[in-house]
Chain A
Amino acid sequence: MSVFNVYLSGVGGQGIGLISEVMQRSVDHAGIKALGVDTHGLAQRGGIVASQLRIGDSIHSPMVSRGKADLVVALERHEAVRAAGEYLKKNGTLVYYNTSWQPLPVRMNKAEEIQTAQVAKFCQSNGFRLIEVYQSDLPDPRMQNMALLAAICRNHLLAGVRKEHYIAAMRDLMSGKMLEANLGLFERLLLA
């Protein structure tokens, strides 16, 4: 298959490491080559964290070039716009969880918060396909990443990767109550 680039972004503490690893392993379970890389260290403290995932045969470095992502996955509204603006290619897809963790300048009244309608307008004017995810009944805000994962699966955003591949990847990485809760949510959202 041809190269497919995914850029994931969020705020430190949102669980981006788990969703990126589940995605990479899902692709692997589907028998497709994947390379990934995550942010570790300083930026994790409430700053921007990014993960990168490259899929296909003719890939070498795990890092995605600017303007060359086919898919941007964001766990937060501001980071959705920032990442899509920098990395998403025309006709690419932005899928994001619609929550806002206000950046410092907003909290200090020095900048305005990005609103949901602005994201839609931004995507429209840039030719991005937009999928907005929000789930009002999550048992734990740290499961927002699973809501996104379900949206990625439901919309077939990773070609050739099916439900059973995502579930196998989740089983690789989680166990006990955590697996039960996340798997339960994932399957419920797929039916929704």
Chain B
Amino acid sequence: MKNLGEMLLQREAFSEIVMGNTAIVRAMIEAGTRVVTSYPGSPTPEIASAIAAIKKEDRPFYFEFSTNEKVATEVAYGAAVNGHLSTVFFKSVGLNVASDTFVQLNLMNLIGGMVVVLGDDPGANSSQNEQDNRHFARMSYTPIFEPANPTEVYHFYKAAAALAQQLHIPVILRLTTHVCHAKEKVAFAAWQPAVFDKTPRFDVKNGPYMPLTSLVFPMKRRALQNLGQLASMSEKIGQHQRVDNQNRQKGIITFGLPYLSLLDVLEESGGKPDIFKLGMIYPLPIDMLAEFLRSHEEVLVLEELDDLIEGEIKRIAFERQIKVKIHGKTDVESWVGEYTADKVSGILRNLWPEMAAAAPASPAAPLQVPARPAQMCPGCGHRSAFHAIKQALAPVDIKVADIGCHTLGFMPPYNMGEMLMCMGASTGIAAGLSLFNDSRRVVCFLGDSTFFHAGIPGIINALFNRHNITLIVMENGTTAMTGHQDHAATGRNFNDLTERIPVRSVLEGLGIKHIFEVDTYQQQKLTDAVKEAVAVEGFAVVIAKHPCMLKLMREQRRKDSFQAKMVSIDKKTCNHQHTCVSSFACPTFVMNPDGSVDVNPDLCIGDGSCLQTCPSKAINRPQNREGGKE
């Protein structure tokens, strides 16, 4: 088996099939990055998986998962002003959390340099929106590089790091979901470990680092001057690519993954526009683009999500009085979703039909397939929790969801969650919903990693302002959705064992008087606890805990002593009430056409949490499977 960790540290040049999220780690190593921080969020957590593959003692840089994206940004900033090249990475909406710190970065003289890696999510594959973080770059005068594939991720990170070190600034590397997860063979350069000077180089003389009153203005001027300098450097350092097809009529300006979609469409259509592919997408290489505009009659700006570059291109044409027809966004749909080859082909079909690929024929006889929404895993403690909590609440009660695997409770048959905003927002929203409200009780959910990430201020507010709500902390002992990262209550950080900070201790320390703690597999007890909690006049918290069973089972299976189990249905006793399969709805249960129920051996983990849900007691206790391992 190829060892990823050893491969990433290889001294000689090599080629390997890797995803974008792996290629970036080799780039960090080659660039001499010293401090890397993050908070897990799709599409970026596999960057940390690649880092974890390198033995701790061999890692050429320090890495941590911080409690949230803002703290992660601050840790990376602190390292950068001490002279270390640093990097922070997180998902698209993570920048909203980090923004209070992030927007200030470019006012500071980052003597070590800093790369901010953003995992944007066009298509909202794993996020609550598809926000275009290029807006943040404009607001904070921060340059952006945008790669299209893993090879460019590797090269552009190194370019971004070199620029950050040269100008002592933050530089954004904007990745998108299918660039993070694309896999291709990347040719990596040789690497010679450097000897680092550990001397803390922080010095106020490099500042000012106090953006207060009149000091703000020189700092802002410097940031703007940097931006101007970057625009003029862009031609040389911007990693731009021109595809010259000698077409003096039609040109296309694009960047990132949509560029590859365009090339795929053109392979099929035989269209030959000239193409200007941007590498550094902010600030723009104005002279180069003006020349491109001048040399074409029509130019299409092919831009995923918002129309930032289109606006700038139009400004260039206007200011330089260039006679060229500029095409860009046409309707709402051109602002929505990923620019896949299908989408790009559709855009071209409307504008320049000769460049569009043939539309695929749809199957003559489609067969309706039932939808398959994401589900909580077999044995998931959240399923037991939602099943039990539902019994304690009235249909009119308002249920506020939060971010995590437990968000899935909003779906039928549980319907435990009627609104969702962002990390840690549930408690504050619930407080607002409780005002002037005497008839509908308000319950909100919060995961344990989210509790530490952004949940605590809302909780303190509920307590401080005496809001009459019930918070249910869905404690599964990990950051499950993003791949089981540790958090402050697990007793481990990314690198070492550490002191646990139990959720309950924090709540008790705040002086919360009504705390109920129940393992979710004890469903009746949990129902009773929630009934009691919502009856409390004031703020009450229920800790509904059960370890993540996906994680637990993976750990169990690795043990030699592991014995696989599964439940079965006593067909004589089962009277087809279907609570297990339709209300508790563990994916393990199979609904047969004759109304009888079976257990899917592919799925059952033998946890037995379903036994208590059967009104006729027809589920047999988990039995050992033949052969031991399932």
- Measuring CB to CB, which residues of chain A are less than 8 angstroms from any residue of chain B? 3, 11-13, 21, 24-25, 28, 33-48, 58-63, 65-68, 78-79, 81-82, 84-85, 88-90, 99-114, 118, 122, 125-126, 139-141, 144, 171-175, 179
Contact = CB atoms under 8 A, between A and B. Distances in A.
A174 B1 contact: yes
Given A25-B17, A139-B629, A41 B183 contact: no
Interface string B584-612: 01010111010000001111000000000
A90 B600 CA distance: 34
A173 B373 contact: no
A108 B585 contact: yes
Contact of B1 (A84, A85, A105, A172): A172
B260 A90 contact: no
Nearest to A83: B369
B591 A102 contact: yes
A140 B408 contact: no
Contacts of A174: 1
Contacts of B369: 78, 81-82, 85, 103, 114
B367 interface: yes
Interface string B487-513: 000000000000000000000000000
Interface stretch (B82-90, B216-224, B356-364): B356-364
A19 to B, nearest CB: 13
Interface stretch (B53-61, B63-71, B261-269): B261-269
B17 A28 contact: yes
Contact of A61 (B43, B341, B405, B600): B341
A78 B370 contact: yes
Contacts of A46: 372, 374-377, 587
A68 B374 contact: no
A78 B369 CA distance: 6
Contacts of A84: 363
B396 interface: no
Contact of A65 (B183, B342, B589): B342
Contact of A103 (B17, B42, B372, B581): B372
Interface residues of B, number: 68
Contacts of A171: 1
Contacts of A175: 1
19 contacts: A40-B42, A60-B260, A60-B267, A61-B263, A62-B149, A62-B184, A78-B372, A85-B367, A88-B363, A89-B360, A102-B600, A103-B371, A104-B372, A107-B590, A108-B591, A113-B593, A114-B370, A126-B365, A174-B1
B367 A122 contact: yes
B183 to A, nearest CB: 4
Given A45-B376, A60-B264, A62-B178, 13 more contacts: A21-B183, A36-B184, A41-B42, A42-B42, A46-B377, A61-B257, A61-B341, A66-B360, A78-B372, A101-B603, A102-B591, A103-B373, A108-B582
B185 interface: yes
Contacts of A85: 363, 366-367, 369
Contacts of A47: 372-375
Nearest to B257: A61
Contacts of B260: 60-61
A87 B481 CA distance: 28
B383 to A, nearest CB: 11
Contact of A40 (B2, B181, B357, B373): B181
B200 interface: no
B551 to A, nearest CB: 13
Contacts of B341: 61, 63, 65
B630 interface: yes
A7 B593 CA distance: 31
Given A45-B376, A122-B365, A140-B630, A62 B126 contact: no
B582 A81 contact: no
B328 to A, nearest CB: 21
A67 B602 contact: no
A40 B408 contact: no
Interface centre among B183, B267, B365 (most CB of A within 10 A): B183
A127 B508 CA distance: 66
B12 to A, nearest CB: 18
B140 interface: no
Contact of B590 (A62, A88, A102): A102
Interface centre among A44, A46, A99, A118 (most CB of B within 10 A): A46
Contacts of A40: 42-43, 45-46, 126, 181
B583 to A, nearest CB: 9
A10 to B, nearest CB: 10
Contacts of A63: 178, 261, 340-341
A77 to B, nearest CB: 9
B245 interface: no
B481 A45 contact: yes
A62 B338 CA distance: 13
B452 to A, nearest CB: 21
A60 B263 contact: yes
A45 B408 CA distance: 9
